[in-house]
């Protein structure tokens, strides 16, 4: 049973990252009418959104402490679907900044996709004994809480702004990918519980 949970969680995590890579590749090819900065200005509550270009960063992110969007070179002022979707999601985070109160105490930056599921996979594969599983379960619970809070915020991302339908569809796919990360981490947590009590 433990091996089934271990491998199903790992497969789900790998599938989610592969799906995100496909979204990235396909999204870079499709052009939208607005660029990433214009889309942020169209967002409801955009007057309070701070955006800067972050040339040293590979990934665009939302800084929870300073309530600032840091767009990478590949996304700043670009009009491909992926860049515009990134701007849409991060601007949604900026509008919903009050919901980041707890997250900002632990995580300074939030990206549209988390790398914590990779840590979950590592924990699940390393922890095999009862004592290891107890320690691993603590780490997985922290990751689960973070992923749950991000999922809750993501469920409020799409607002009534007049945005291209393709951007909304791409955003919904990113939200689903983050839900799959939560599910895979939950599977790993169940695996740990079984290891502890059996």
pLDDT digits (tens, 9 = 90+) for 55-95: 777 889 999 888 889 988 888 888 899 999 999 999 889 88
Query: To the nearest 10°, the Cα dihedral for 161, 172, 154, 107?
Result: -120
**C-alpha to C-alpha distance for 182 and 117, rounded to whole angstroms:** 8
What are the backbone dihedrals phi and psi of residue 112, each rounded to the nearest 5 degrees, phi first? Answer: -70, -20
* pLDDT tens digit sequence for 5-26: 999 999 999 999 999 999 999 9
What are the backbone dihedrals phi and psi of residue 35, each rounded to the nearest 5 degrees, phi first? Answer: -90, 175
* pLDDT on residue 45: 67
* pLDDT tens digit sequence for 90-138: 988 988 888 888 888 888 889 999 999 999 999 999 988 889 889 999 9
pTM attached to this predicted model: 0.90
* pLDDT on residue 13: 96
Q: Which residues contact 3 (CB under 8 A, 6 or more apart)?
A: none
What are the backbone dihedrals phi and psi of residue 164, each rounded to the nearest 5 degrees, phi first? Answer: -50, 135
């Amino acid at each position: 049973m433990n091996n089934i949970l271990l491998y199903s969680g790992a497969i789900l995590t790998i599938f989610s990252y592969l799906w995100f890579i496909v979204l990235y590749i396909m999204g870079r090819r499709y052009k939208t009418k607005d660029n990433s900065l214009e889309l942020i200005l169209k967002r409801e509550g955009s007057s309070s959104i701070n955006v800067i270009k972050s040339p040293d960063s590979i990934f665009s992110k939302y800084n929870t402490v300073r309530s600032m969007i840091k767009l990478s070179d590949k996304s700043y002022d670009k009009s491909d679907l992926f860049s515009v979707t990134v701007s849409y999601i991060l601007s949604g985070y900026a509008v919903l900044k009050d919901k980041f109160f707890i997250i900002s105490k632990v995580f300074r930056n939030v990206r549209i996709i988390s790398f914590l599921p990779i840590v979950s996979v590592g924990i699940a594969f390393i922890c095999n004994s009862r004592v290891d599983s107890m320690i691993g379960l603590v780490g997985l619970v922290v990751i689960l809480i973070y992923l749950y809070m991000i999922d809750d915020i993501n469920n409020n991302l799409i607002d009534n702004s007049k945005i291209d339908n393709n951007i909304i569809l791409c955003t919904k796919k990113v939200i689903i990918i983050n839900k799959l990360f939560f599910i895979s981490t939950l599977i790993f947590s169940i695996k740990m519980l079984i290891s502890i009590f059996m």
